[in-house]
Amino acid sequence: MFLAMLQMIPGIGNARLRRLVSYFGNGETIWKSSVQDVWQSKCLDRGSYENFCEFKKNPIDIDLLAEKWRKKKIKLCTYLDAEYPELLKNIFNPPSVLFYRGILSGEKQRVAIVGSRKTSAYGKAAAENLAGDLAETGIEIISGAARGIDTAAHIGALKKGRTIAVLGCGVDVAYPIENKHLLEEIVESGLVVSEYPPGTTPNAKFFPARNRIISGLSRGVIVVEAAIKSGSLITAEMALSEGRDVFAVPGSIYSEQSKGCHKLIQQGAKLVSCAKDVLEEYSWNESKCNIDKNVINLSKEEKVVYENLSYDQPLSIDEIILKSRSDASNITCILLQMELRGLVVEHAPHCYVRAVKEGVL
């Protein structure tokens, strides 16, 4: 709590906080030291020191703040604690304090899946199914809870395992607002984490910093749909700078949203088409991965409908009826059955695409 309080002072970031801890020993000693002692330590510049002095004049009641966070089930972990993730500790400028809700598990096999906020049906399905297949083998899926690919990755992982959401705001703030229920689901079985204190609202400058935590927690980063100028490519660059692996899912050569992925592949990122491509890279356990094991057989009528659908170009029911040369009631029934089996997805009202599935015959 003392370290968290100190980091809430403007100007005292991770580096300065570490210097203070190195000099004084711990957060409580720093907080209880005189302003003269803190200045003589030479750990702070003039601006951050003045902010420290101002903060000391009007201190926050640490017990009341701790109780407030406890009621919200918010926990803390510092870089001095044994449970602090080892992979994250080894990056440049690791967060000194992590605020989290949920379960902070020990070191596990972790992979990040990131991508565009503006995603196609193909990208959404690819992220969701890839996350689900990897989570099924026990791998924790990390993403940033943003719209688009991030959301699809969390949803896919939740169906079969654990996922971690790294936020660019406080862990008690739902952003985007439509993901409030999703974040609550993640808390139940996984982890929602941030370096920003509870109550911190989203800010554009926080997200690049958030991305270093996403890559820092992961053995590798998988990019699914990213334009040439994309935050996901920043995450990939951060991953490379920290010695992490970068994977990319290919898309259509005509898609602007896939040009970033294709650029990564040209630069040496491993092409990923299924979960096994990732598992093989690390020699992780493939025995739990059910890809290709369960062949889904389609009836003659279902096959006609399925073959007329694509992964990235939604077709309306009228277009499907026309292409399949069947009546409306029959097509509606077939689509409903295939949707329940996870073979097709209603991408927009009354418009369908294939769900990315292996073993469809």
> Is-contact 227 256, C-beta < 8 A?
yes
Q: Give me the pLDDT at residue 8, please.
A: 92
- pLDDT tens-digit map of 65-77: 999 999 999 999 9
Place of tokens 């991770």: 14
Q: Is 36 exposed, middle or buried (0-12, 13-18, 19+ CB in 10 A)?
A: exposed
Q: Model pTM?
A: 0.86
How does strand 245-249 pair with strand 270-271?
parallel
More confident residue, 330 or 347: 330
- pLDDT tens-digit map of 236-265: 999 999 999 999 999 988 889 999 999 999
Residue type, 161: G
The arithmetic mean of pLDDT across residues 12-29, rounded, is: 95
What three-state secondary structure class fits 221?
Answer: strand
Query: What is the spatial distance between Cα 312 and Cα 209, in angstroms, rounded to a whole number?
Result: 32
The arithmetic mean of pLDDT across residues 67-94, rounded, is: 95
> Is-contact 133 291, C-beta < 8 A?
yes
Q: Give me the pLDDT at residue 31, please.
A: 92
Q: Give me the pLDDT at residue 291, please.
A: 47
Query: What is the spatial distance between Cα 75 and Cα 1, in angstroms, rounded to a whole number?
Result: 10
pLDDT at 288 over 80: no
Residue 102's pLDDT band, with cuts at 50, 70 and 90, is very high
- pLDDT tens-digit map of 171-200: 999 999 999 999 999 999 999 999 999 999
Q: Give me the pLDDT at residue 333, please.
A: 93
Q: Give me the pLDDT at residue 130, please.
A: 95
Query: What is the spatial distance between Cα 195 and Cα 190, in angstroms, rounded to a whole number?
Result: 17
Q: Give me the pLDDT at residue 348, please.
A: 84
Exposure pattern of 99-120 as b/e (b: 16+ CB <10 Å)?
bbbbebeeeebbbbbbbbbebb
Query: What is the spatial distance between Cα 340 and Cα 358, in angstroms, rounded to a whole number?
Result: 16
The DSSP secondary structure of 199-213, one letter per residue, reads TPPP-TTHHHHHHHH
CA distance to 20, 116, 213, 221, per residue, from 270 (Å): 42, 19, 22, 10
Q: In what order do the strands lie in the sheet with 315-316?
A: 315-316, 351-354, 344-348
Min mean pLDDT across 98-102, 154-158, 231-235, 293-297 is at 293-297
